[in-house]
């Protein structure tokens, strides 16, 4: 299928109380592992290109890999920019065929974040492409953050209302207790804060830094409006561990494909596990459309969810 935008997928996920997995890919094996899992699980999927991936593979190559993989898949695939740095990069991504953008102004002043996000959204909306924005800050574990730092950086519900109204962003990355690049799933999300933001704001929420969050907490958060969950570190851990094992098991082999087969498979299994956990498995019908949440009974297994 051709790429689709994230707009309808995230609204359908919000309504159906499941989440779309947004997986970071840096190379061909990761792209293939992610798309293969989505196809086998009949799940819509978001592939996202990070700033690191752009530096590593180049914007056009990273986008091209996803576009080709999507064209061969019979499930909806989104090409998303992760943590876009400015207006210029977002416009370059529009030109490169991205179907979902992000501007991350969370390190800037509030007014600067509002102004730049609004500008990116205006340009993207002219092209019918949705924009994710970030308010509050999802910190980096490598910066040695404390619990107090995480709490101080959380999204403020009243500010979120003002922010979404003024920027017209299509989805909002919320800071609710997760931290980027964690290799252990130990954190619990602040569900009360997610509920408080949900009471003010109607756009789908995005969870960054999910690799450091317990799975119970992830599933609970889906019931309160988290409709996109980013997964990056877990995929890197699986890829690299499989690669090390494969190299150790094949002394004398010089064919890189024989080493990378295991890594591609390892990525696929992590993605499969997350797709099932997020409730998005089996959502795509045989013609590539989405099954209505009313008939998919997704809400039932996410008990405790309420408006
Ligand atoms: Zn992030």
The pLDDT value given to residue 303: 42
Contact 61/270 with Cβ under 8 angstroms? Answer: no
List phi, psi (to 5°) of 18. Answer: -135, 180
Residues 13-46: pLDDT tens digits?
999 999 999 999 999 999 999 999 999 999 999 9
Residues 253-280: pLDDT tens digits?
999 999 999 999 999 999 999 999 999 9
Q: Where are the domains of the chain?
A: 6-295
> Taking Cα atoms as reference points, which of 8, 99, 7, 71 lies closest to residue 289?
8
> Which residues are near ligand 1, the ion (C-beta closer than 5 Å)?
208
Average pLDDT on 95-103 reads 98
Annotated catalytic residue: which of 82, 104, 170, 190?
82
Q: What does the alpha-carbon distance between residue 180 and residue 190 come to, in Å, rounded to a whole number?
A: 16
Task: Write down the mean pLDDT value for the chain.
Answer: 93
Q: Calculate how far, in angstroms, residue 253's C-alpha sits from the geometric centre of ligand 1.
A: 37
Q: What does the alpha-carbon distance between residue 102 and residue 12 come to, in Å, rounded to a whole number?
A: 19
Q: Calculate how far, in angstroms, residue 82's C-alpha sits from the geometric centre of ligand 1.
A: 7
Length of the chain (residues): 307
Q: pLDDT over 90 for what percent of the chain?
A: 86
Residues of 195-234 as b/e, b for ≥16 C-beta within 10 angstroms?
A: ebbbeebebbbbbbbbbbbeeebbbbbbbbbbbbbbbbbb
80 pLDDT above the threshold of 80: yes
Q: Calculate how far, in angstroms, residue 142's C-alpha sits from the geometric centre of ligand 1.
A: 13
Q: Calculate how far, in angstroms, residue 24's C-alpha sits from the geometric centre of ligand 1.
A: 10
The pLDDT value given to residue 293: 60
Q: What does the alpha-carbon distance between residue 288 and residue 299 come to, in Å, rounded to a whole number?
A: 22
Q: Calculate how far, in angstroms, residue 52's C-alpha sits from the geometric centre of ligand 1.
A: 12
299 pLDDT above the threshold of 70: no
Pick the CATH number of 6-295 from 3.40.50.2000, 3.40.50.720, 3.40.50.300, 3.20.20.70: 3.20.20.70
Q: How many CB atoms lie within 10 A of CB 58?
A: 11
Residues 225-237: pLDDT tens digits?
999 999 999 999 9
Residues 108-147: pLDDT tens digits?
999 999 999 999 999 999 999 999 999 999 998 888 888 8
Q: Calculate how far, in angstroms, residue 287's C-alpha sits from the geometric centre of ligand 1.
A: 32
Q: pLDDT over 70 for what percent of the chain?
A: 95
- The pLDDT-based confidence of 307 (bands split at 50, 70, 90) is very low
Catalytic, 82? Answer yes
Residues 170-196: pLDDT tens digits?
999 999 999 998 888 888 899 999 999
- The pLDDT-based confidence of 78 (bands split at 50, 70, 90) is very high
For residue 172, what are its two tokens? 């909002």
């Amino acid at each position: 299928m051709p790429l689709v935008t994230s707009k309808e997928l995230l609204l359908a996920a919000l309504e159906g109380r499941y989440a779309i997995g947004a997986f970071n890919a840096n190379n061909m094996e990761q792209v293939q592992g992610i798309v293969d899992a989505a196809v086998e699980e009949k799940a819509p999927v978001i592939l996202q290109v990070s700033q690191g991936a752009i530096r590593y593979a180049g914007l056009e190559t990273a986008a091209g890999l996803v576009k080709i993989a999507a064209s061969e898949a019979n499930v909806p695939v989104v090409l998303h920019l992760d943590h876009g740095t400015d207006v210029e990069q977002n416009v370059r991504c529009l030109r490169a065929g991205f179907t979902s953008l992000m501007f991350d102004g969370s390190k800037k002043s509030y007014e600067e974040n509002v102004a730049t996000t609004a500008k990116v959204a205006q340009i993207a909306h002219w092209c019918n492409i949705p924009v994710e924005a970030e308010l509050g800050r999802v910190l980096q574990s490598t910066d040695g953050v404390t619990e107090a730092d995480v709490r101080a950086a959380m999204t403020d519900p009243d500010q979120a209302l003002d922010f979404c109204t003024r920027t017209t962003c299509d989805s909002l990355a919320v800071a609710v207790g997760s931290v980027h690049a964690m290799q252990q799933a130990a954190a619990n999300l602040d569900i009360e804060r997610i509920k408080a933001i949900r009471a003010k704001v109607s756009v789908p929420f995005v969870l960054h830094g999910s690799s450091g969050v317990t799975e119970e907490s992830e599933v609970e958060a889906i019931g309160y409006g988290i409709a996109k969950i980013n997964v990056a570190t877990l995929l890197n851990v699986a890829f690299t561990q499989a690669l090390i094992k494969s190299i150790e098991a094949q002394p004398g082999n010089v064919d890189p494909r024989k080493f990378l087969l295991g890594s591609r498979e390892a990525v696929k299994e992590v993605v499969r596990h997350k797709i099932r956990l997020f409730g998005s498995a089996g959502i795509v019908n045989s013609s590539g459309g989405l099954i209505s949440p009313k008939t998919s009974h997704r809400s039932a297994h996410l008990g405790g969810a309420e408006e």
